[in-house]
Chain A
Amino acid sequence: MIWELLFEPFAAYGFMRRALIGCVAIAVGATPIGVFLMLRRMSLTGDAMAHAILPGAAVGYLIAGLSLTAMTIGGLVAGMAVALFSGFVSRVTPLREDASLAAFYLISLAAGVLIVSMRGSNVDLMHVLFGTVLALDDPALILLCSIASVTTVAMALLFRPLVLECADPQFLRSVSRMSAVTHFTFLALAVLNLVGGFQALGTLMIVGIMILPAAAARFWVTTVGGMIAVGIVVAIASSMAGLLLSYHYSLPSGPAIILSAGIAYALSLIIGPVGGLIRPLPRTNTP
């Protein structure tokens, strides 16, 4: 019974196993990014980036036709450019990071729409560029796992400066030259995860897995490391639950996974011990 419900779909079908592996890779790679994005109040960056990569994808399409590799590389370049420029502007001018990011992604989006229209074709680029979790082929899996590995190593190296940068960027800037390196590496990692995830899984999937588990984890633990750990667990559990729901009840997979993560978030919001709606009685009142 339990076997049939929970494990049989994965045992019987290769595409289910691939989907799960892809989700685990995304969970490991993207959730830590999501935690830091949340702590830096940049949770909407993912959505903005989805638009920002369009011109890159369009240029890739113009050069190489409907080649996913070319379009992904193009998207990566465009996303990096937007992230770097907005990071640069926010560091050297008083404009806040969210505002400069919004400005750059709007420019980028407009350029993308223009380029696509000039070509005159109407194949829906975004549609072609964005994959689905059920159709992960070998290159897509390798891409996802590579990105997860790179992200994990980089995050491990940058963990301390990153936490400092979130907590007190002025302080970090004053004591270390690592500040700029940290900032831009982090943005690059975010773009890398987003573009790779778009290509393999679709926008909703990658942005959802990046942000929702991180937001849920916020209600369970106070330390950054703890949040990352809880976030990854929530992400993997939601992915598995979503895939199983999709399998047993014929639901579209991407939305099922994200809604599972959404339910985890809602539950955390209500019963989470750290700042959840149903708070434990304040200890200070007891004698």
Chain B
Amino acid sequence: MNSRRTLLKVGTAAVALMMAPQADLRASEPMPVVATFSILGDMVAQIGGEHIALTTLVGPDGDAHVYQPTPADARAVSDADLLFVNGLEFEGWLDRLIDASGYEGDRVVATASVEPIPFEEGDHDDHGEHGDDDHGHDDHGHDDHGHDDHGHDDHAKAEHAEHGHDDHDHDDDHAKAEEAHGHGDHDHDHEEAKAEHGHDDHGHDDHADGGHAGHDHGEFDPHAWQSIDNAIAYVDEITAALAKADPANAADFYQNRAAYVAELEALDAEIRGILAGLPEDRRTIVTSHDAFGYFAEAYDLTFEAPVGLSTESEASAADVAEMIEQIRDENISAVFVESITDNRLLELIANETGAVIGGTLYSDALSGPDGPAGTYLDMMRHNATTLASALGS
């Protein structure tokens, strides 16, 4: 990742030089692109600037899990030059939409170079099948929520090789492997295989030749944007794809990227600062929708949700009882509601345990432009401050 980012920076300069004489030849017409949901759309807009005409399919406060595409969406997709998607099975309705629209352009999978984390709920054997044997990060990944100190270091090595900008030291060899591979990036088939399979850097070679065709879907937590490291990986994918599709404006894209990544890194430091002060026993958070796995991992928190995974599944009485027990046992003082889900169940649990509702977190969608989470940066900052003020009190 590091080397990759360096390369991108070098690329910025090189491309800028190359493109400079042709600046006057730039197409004045903005390139039509489509992003599937508001958070991704915000990132694409940050990079593309005035050179793209962006359509976002699932707008602010919309739930991309249960979205129903409209004909206008299909038209937007078929007119687009580039389609940006999250991947990791987040947009279950997307394949049908693409088929229906007859779109034949590139599909840019934003999570292509993200190391996906498996869902903590459900059948662990499932994950075991898919060759975690090399380094078994699964094992500490969900048994004890793995965010405690011991889990972190080896974690970082194995898992963050691609996106951990805070562990420059120990991922050299991984980074090399990534370098060898990561820059073939425009090969989308390869990327998809990677996105779906993910978590081993060792397996790259047999990876690409489709050894994972029969892979189960929805195995990984798709909410990867909840960690800023991953957001930078998103931005890199977006930049590379835009630069490839519109070489004339590549210099601008790389410039925008540099500025945006700087903002992201500053925000990351800010959030770490905000959350660092929380004591060890006040780092467990209860929300209504299990969307904060990456956030939890990045900032060393533990998130619990009464209904796992998806907004569509229905809770069982046992789940709710377990949640209540846990809140009582661990003395959890605040639960948080989310912008896109039905929060009645959570309010009931809060009521029964005496915990307070700590505020609204934004997980899968931005708020409207006037809301507290109008952009990705605002959303992450809002979530962090909301958490800190409720947990720190």
A contact set with B: CB distance below 8 Å? 9, 12-16, 18-19, 117, 120-124, 127-128, 131-132, 134-137, 140, 243, 246-256
Q: CA separation between A255 and B340, bound complex, in Å?
A: 24
Q: CA separation between A287 and B178, bound complex, in Å?
A: 92
Instruction: Choose among B63, B312, B344 the residue with the greatest number of A CB atoms under 10 Å from its CB.
Output: B344
Question: Is B240 an interface position by the 8 A CB rule?
Answer: no
Q: CA separation between A254 and B307, bound complex, in Å?
A: 14
B41 to A: closest C-beta gap in Å? 14
| Nearest B-chain residue to A202, judged by Cβ | B314
From B62, B314, B324, give the contact of A123 (CB < 8 A). Answer: B62
Q: Is the CB of A122 within 8 A of B318?
A: no
B388 to A: closest C-beta gap in Å? 27
From B63, B320, B321, B351, give the contact of A122 (CB < 8 A). Answer: B63
18 A-B contacts (beta carbon < 8 Å): A13-B324, A13-B352, A15-B317, A15-B348, A18-B348, A124-B66, A127-B312, A132-B314, A132-B315, A132-B344, A134-B317, A137-B344, A137-B347, A137-B351, A247-B316, A252-B313, A253-B315, A253-B316
Q: Is the CB of A122 within 8 A of B58?
A: yes
Known: A120-B59, A128-B342. 9 other contacts (CB 8 A): A117-B70, A124-B66, A135-B342, A135-B345, A137-B348, A140-B344, A246-B316, A251-B318, A253-B315
Interface 0/1 of B327-350, CB less than 8 Å to A? 000000000000010101101110
With a cutoff of 8 Å between Cβ atoms, the chain B residues found around residue A254 in the complex are 314
Q: Is the CB of A121 within 8 A of B62?
A: yes
Q: Is the CB of B348 within 8 A of A19?
A: no
Q: CA separation between A14 and B354, bound complex, in Å?
A: 12
Instruction: Choose among A19, A134, A246, A248 the residue with the greatest number of B CB atoms under 10 Å from its CB.
Output: A134
Q: CA separation between A14 and B62, bound complex, in Å?
A: 32
B301 to A: closest C-beta gap in Å? 25
Given A15-B348, A127-B342, A137-B351, are A9 and B317 also a contact pair (CB < 8 Å)?
yes
Q: CA separation between A255 and B313, bound complex, in Å?
A: 12
Q: Is the CB of B311 within 8 A of A247?
A: no
Interface 0/1 of B344-387, CB less than 8 Å to A? 11011101100000000000000000000000000000000000
Given A123-B340, A137-B344, A254-B314, are A13 and B351 also a contact pair (CB < 8 Å)?
no
With a cutoff of 8 Å between Cβ atoms, the chain B residues found around residue A135 in the complex are 342, 344-345, 347-348
A131 to B: closest C-beta gap in Å? 6
Q: CA separation between A250 and B307, bound complex, in Å?
A: 12
Q: CA separation between A121 and B318, bound complex, in Å?
A: 34
Q: CA separation between A13 and B311, bound complex, in Å?
A: 24
Question: Is B154 an interface position by the 8 A CB rule?
Answer: no
With a cutoff of 8 Å between Cβ atoms, the chain B residues found around residue A140 in the complex are 344
Instruction: Choose among A117, A121, A124, A127 the residue with the greatest number of B CB atoms under 10 Å from its CB.
Output: A124
Given A253-B315, A254-B314, are A122 and B67 also a contact pair (CB < 8 Å)?
yes
User: For window 282-322 of chain B, which residues contact chain A by CB distance below 8 Å?
Assistant: 311-321
User: For window 46-73 of chain B, which residues contact chain A by CB distance below 8 Å?
Assistant: 58-59, 61-63, 66-68, 70
